[in-house]
Amino acid sequence: MSVGTTNPVVTIFGSARPLPGSPGYELAYHLGKALASRGFAVCNGGYAGTMEAAAKGAREAGGHTIGVTCDLFTRIVNPWIVEEVRTPRLTERIIKLADLGSAFVILPGGTGTLLELAFVLEMVNKRFSIEKPVILQGPFWQPVLRPLEEEMRQEGLEDVARFLSTSTSPQKTADLLHERVRPPWRHR
pLDDT at 182: 62
Domains and CATH numbers, the chain: 9-178 (3.40.50.450)
Tens of pLDDT, residue by residue over 131-170, are: 799 999 999 998 988 887 777 777 776 666 678 889 999 9
* pLDDT of residue 2 exceeding 90: no
Going by pLDDT thresholds of 50, 70 and 90, the confidence category of residue 129 is: confident
pLDDT at 187: 39
Mean pLDDT of 113-135: 87
Mean pLDDT of 163-179: 93
pLDDT cut 70: percent of the chain above it: 91
User: Other CB atoms closer than 10 Å to residue 71's CB: what's the count?
Assistant: 12
Name which residue leads in pLDDT, 161 or 41: 41
Tens of pLDDT, residue by residue over 51-88, are: 999 999 999 999 999 999 999 998 899 999 999 999 99
Q: Which of 2-6, 7-11, 181-185 has the lowest mean pLDDT?
A: 181-185
Mean pLDDT of 109-123: 93
pTM of the model: 0.91
